[in-house]
Amino acid sequence: MTVQAPFAGQLTSATFTTGSVLATTILISTFSGTTPASTNENCNTNGAATCQSTNGGQTFVLQDAESLSGLAPQTSFQVSLANPVTVTANQWVAVTFISSSCSSSNGVSCQINIFCGTGCGSSGAQSGLVQSTCIKFGSSSPTTGASFTTATPANCVIDNVVGATFQSSGTTGQSVSVTQCYGNCGSPAITLANTNSTHTVNFNQSITLFYEFQSNLNGFFINVTTNVAKAYSNGIGVIEAIYVVPSCPVGQTPFSTTCPGFLASGWNVVGNPGKGRLTNGNFLIPVSNGEWLGITITATMSGLDLNDTNTNVAIFQTSGGGCACPPPPTITASSQFSAASKIGLWGFIRGNVIQNIPPPTTAGGCQSFAGIDCLFPAIVNSFCTTFTQSCQTSSALFWVVILSIFAMFVLQFGAARLIPGSKFIAGGEIFIFLFVTFILMFSGLGLLPIWIPVLIIFIVALMMGKHTGRYL
């Protein structure tokens, strides 16, 4: 889906209702031109709404790609982005999704998000502000900042339940993302102690120290930081870096030959560092919930004094770095450095927040004793694993038959109990009357397209004409 930004500011969150296939990545892209060319199409709903679909060959630039987890089928969610996207007034912004279980990277081959219901679309108040858009990213991990083109409307699943929230420039308020410290941050973060346990580490050898951990957020790793205990002038150089383990099956050891860690950040040697915080980079390295990461530190010679923290976190060592600068490109073997070490070395992950949105209620509340406007749509749609117009129509017809038979049985049973010896038989014209009544009720609630009751009434008229001997 593509929407037009109402003002200059940031796209801070997206809201969507999942289908039967769960998305694993949300992607935010901006249109390269002024307004993407589009085609008007029928929304495939019971209403007369007309949808606008972005034409093929339109160019969008990917601004943000964030991992998703914790989703459930046929449920509404709101995702607060870890990396809000800056937009200008009236700029077109695409909110799209990728699922690792889809055979096509643009999501065309499977329904990631659920369709809108009756009467939705981009007509009326939303006319000209919303377009259904499919972007051909070409892979499950497209590059942020790269340009991509759209698929033709015929290959695009139109009218999905997706929305976006924009925040104007200069607006103050609660942050839409969460930032969490990883590594050895101290408790509370950041707490330091002047114990300098690295003073005796022989960095004259090839050695790199690192903390390893699993992210419990979907978001971005920002930087790696330590605290130097004193100022230097002897030419010592300090190197910090970030490593990522792309995939590590359950039961396997991270930072090993089966689950190697790869250098994921840029690095540089800081010569003669001053006393205080030493930070490498302001990165936006994408990470997902459960992914293993490592933050490392090494020096070009011995005598480096780093402040410790007040917590004991297991730290590991591997070969590479030290006097053998640069840091190793991969970490495939490690051992625990010192059980008593409390080196202050940490980094922050800025993550998105996924919130479950409760289903909306009607004015009547749709509680346990709901009216027919809540009850009948609920029982009809509950028979559809993947909600489509054809499934809703088939389910509604099924329930019309079941309810007609049940009502006829109740009438027959009630007559037999209340009027002993009664010859009342709830069948024939009575069954047809019940059947047509339920057809009209379901059609009035928008659960059946209009051609169904017209067809049924026409058939009943022919049957009654044959029964009475009268024909049109």
Lowest mean pLDDT, pick from 224-228, 251-255, 462-466: 462-466
> What pLDDT, on a 0 to 100 scale, did the predictor assign at position 396?
87
Q: What is the per-residue pLDDT for 183?
A: 93
- CA 175 centroid distance within chain: 19
* 468 vs 362: CA distance, rounded Å: 46
* CA dist., res. 112 & res. 161, Å (int): 10
Whether the pLDDT of residue 153 is over 80: the answer is: no
Percentage of residues in the chain having pLDDT higher than 90: 26
Higher pLDDT pick, 230 / 177: 230
Determine the pLDDT at residue 414: 75
What pLDDT is recorded for position 64? 93
Can you tell me which residue has the tokens 């976190």?
A: 313
Task: Give me the residues paired with residue 84 across strands.
Answer: none
User: Cα(34)–Cα(51) distance, rounded to whole angstroms?
Assistant: 20
pLDDT attached to residue 159: 59
User: pTM higher than 0.95 for the full model?
Assistant: no
Sign of the four-CA dihedral 17, 20, 25, 28: negative
Split at pLDDT 50, 70, 90, the class of 341 is confident
Q: 411 or 298, which is more confident?
A: 298
Among residues of the chain, what percentage have pLDDT more than 70? 82
The domains of the chain are located at 2-168, 179-351, 372-468
Mean of the per-residue pLDDT values for the chain? 81
Query: Which has the higher per-residue pLDDT, 325 or 362?
Result: 325
Q: What is the per-residue pLDDT for 47?
A: 45
- Give the C-alpha separation, 242 to 228, whole Å: 18
Q: For the residues 252-265, what does the mean pLDDT come to?
A: 91
In the block, residue with structure tokens 């630039």: 61
Which of 20-24, 193-197, 210-214 is the most confident on average?
A: 210-214
Count CB neighbours of 199 within 10 A.
12
pLDDT exceeds cutoff 80 at 292: yes
Q: Are 107 and 98 in contact (CB under 8 A)?
A: yes
Q: Is residue 242 scored above 90 in pLDDT?
A: yes
Q: CA angle, 32 as apex, 219 and 288 as ends, to 5°? A: 10
Closest CA to 135 of 14, 53, 51, 18: 53
Average pLDDT of span 285-301: 91
pLDDT in tens, 30-64: 998 888 998 877 655 444 456 788 888 999 999 99
- pLDDT surpasses 90 at 316: yes
413-447: per-residue pLDDT in tens? 777 777 766 665 656 677 778 888 888 888 887 78
- Quote the pLDDT of residue 469: 59
Say if residue 297's pLDDT is above 90.
Answer: yes
Residue 78 confidence (pLDDT) above 60 = yes
